[in-house]
């Protein structure tokens, strides 16, 4: 429309050096409004697959275009709609770039870099009396899924596992990170041991419920270990990982023995 208006001025034009609306300017407003509604419709349809931060961001995505439409209707001196849409797209490009350095592309959870960074920050906070807990979850028999059903199905299994773990979070500050391969970490503000045990049980029960209702060609099982960071020990992060990993492995051995 902008390009065609250079000759026709049906959308906008410049007379005596001033910006002026064309007779079909209303089409521009309709298109911007339709695009805004489309974004909101897509966000609504995908809301259950988004983490909290992405949902908040994309729910607010249309605000600048809407503001551009309002400016366009009130002030005629500039193409405000295009200006605000361009600004929103620049913000979105920055947001997506920053997310790509922190989020695992397959599961939508924190990647290892973000996980380590968040845990370092929590360890620093724990020294000031604000502790936290770490739950390490390993997907049982994941290698069998990959070897028998293929890596594409294995990726789907990881996505399903991540979805289950995200639903197991308790507080708004809790988060899930991909530790590596088929292992995930839940970082939680919960420190009471009985509540952590309930979270671990809920994760494993959610896997059982998934298996009972899913039509997937595989079953999901989770081995779980957890521990609360003790600030008095001044334990470095790699030792804390090792501590939780040993508890997870003990649970894996226990689960294997009961099958």
Q: What is the DSSP letter of 61?
A: T
**For the chain, what percentages of helix, strand and coil (3-state, to nearest 5) are there?**
60, 15, 25
Q: How far apart are CA 167 and CA 116, in angstroms?
A: 22
Residues 93, 158, single domain; the answer is no
Residue 105 lies in a domain: no
Residues 125, 252, single domain; the answer is yes
The per-residue pLDDT for 29 is 78
Residue 87 lies in a domain: yes
The per-residue pLDDT for 16 is 63
Residues 132, 222, single domain; the answer is yes
- Whose tokens are 């295009």? That residue is 82
Query: Does pTM top 0.75 for this prediction?
Result: no
2-5 long-range contacts (CB < 8 A, ≥24 apart) are 2/82
Residues 120, 34, single domain; the answer is no
Please state whether 126 falls in left (phi above 0), alpha (psi between -120 and 50) or beta: alpha
Please state whether 46 falls in left (phi above 0), alpha (psi between -120 and 50) or beta: alpha
- Residues 115/46/157/199 CA torsion (nearest 10 deg): 60
Residues 133, 86, single domain; the answer is no
Residues 226, 128, single domain; the answer is yes
Residues 117, 218, single domain; the answer is yes
Q: How far apart are CA 80 and CA 205, in angstroms?
A: 53
Residues 242, 130, single domain; the answer is yes
Distances (CA, A) of 110 to 113, 120, 147, 166: 8, 14, 26, 11
Residues 236, 178, single domain; the answer is yes
Most distant pair of Cα atoms in the chain: their distance: 85
Residue whose C-alpha is closest to residue 162's, from 142, 189, 191, 190: 142
Q: How far apart are CA 2 and CA 224, in angstroms?
A: 58
The per-residue pLDDT for 17 is 61
Q: First vs last Cα of the chain: how many Å apart?
A: 67
The per-residue pLDDT for 1 is 73
Residue whose C-alpha is closest to residue 227's, from 241, 207, 213: 241
To 10 degrees, what angle do helices 80-100 and 63-74 make? 170
CATH number of the domain that residue 187 is part of: 3.30.70.270
Q: How far apart are CA 237 and CA 134, in angstroms?
A: 11
* CB of 27 closer than 8 Å to CB of 11: yes
Question: What is the domain range of residue 189?
Answer: 112-258
- Whose tokens are 């990959």? That residue is 146
16-20 long-range contacts (CB < 8 A, ≥24 apart) are 18/77, 19/76, 19/77, 19/78, 19/79, 20/76
Per residue of the chain (259 residues), give pLDDT as tens.
777 777 777 777 766 666 677 788 788 778 888 888 888 898 888 887 777 777 888 888 888 888 887 887 788 777 787 888 889 889 888 888 877 788 898 998 999 999 999 999 999 888 777 889 999 999 999 999 999 999 999 999 999 999 999 998 888 889 999 999 999 999 999 999 999 999 999 999 999 999 999 999 999 999 999 999 998 888 899 999 999 999 999 999 988 887 6
Residues 239, 207, single domain; the answer is yes
């Amino acid at each position: 429309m902008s390009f065609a208006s250079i000759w026709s001025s049906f959308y906008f034009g410049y007379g005596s050096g001033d910006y002026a609306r064309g007779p079909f300017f209303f089409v521009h407003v309709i298109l911007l409004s339709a695009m805004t509604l489309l974004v909101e419709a897509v966000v609504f349809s995908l809301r259950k697959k988004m983490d909290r931060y992405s949902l908040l961001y994309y729910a607010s995505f249309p605000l600048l275009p809407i503001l551009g439409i309002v400016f366009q209707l009130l002030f005629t001196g500039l193409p405000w709609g295009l200006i605000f849409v361009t600004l929103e797209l620049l913000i979105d490009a920055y947001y997506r770039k920053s997310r790509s350095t922190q989020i695992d592309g397959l599961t939508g959870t924190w990647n290892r870099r973000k996980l380590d960074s968040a845990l370092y920050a929590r360890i620093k906070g724990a020294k000031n009396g604000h502790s936290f807990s770490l739950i390490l979850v390993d997907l049982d028999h994941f290698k069998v899924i990959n070897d028998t059903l293929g890596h594409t199905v294995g990726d789907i299994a990881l996505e399903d596992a991540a979805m289950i773990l995200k639903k197991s979070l308790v507080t708004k500050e809790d988060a899930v990170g991909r530790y590596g391969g088929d292992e995930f970490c839940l970082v939680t503000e919960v420190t009471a041991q009985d509540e952590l045990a309930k979270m671990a049980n809920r994760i494993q029960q959610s896997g059982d419920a998934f298996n009972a209702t899913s039509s997937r060609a595989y079953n999901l099982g989770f081995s779980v270990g957890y521990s609360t960071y003790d600030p008095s020990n001044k334990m470095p992060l790699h030792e804390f990982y090792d501590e939780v990993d040993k508890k997870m492995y003990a649970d894996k051995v226990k689960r294997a023995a009961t099958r």
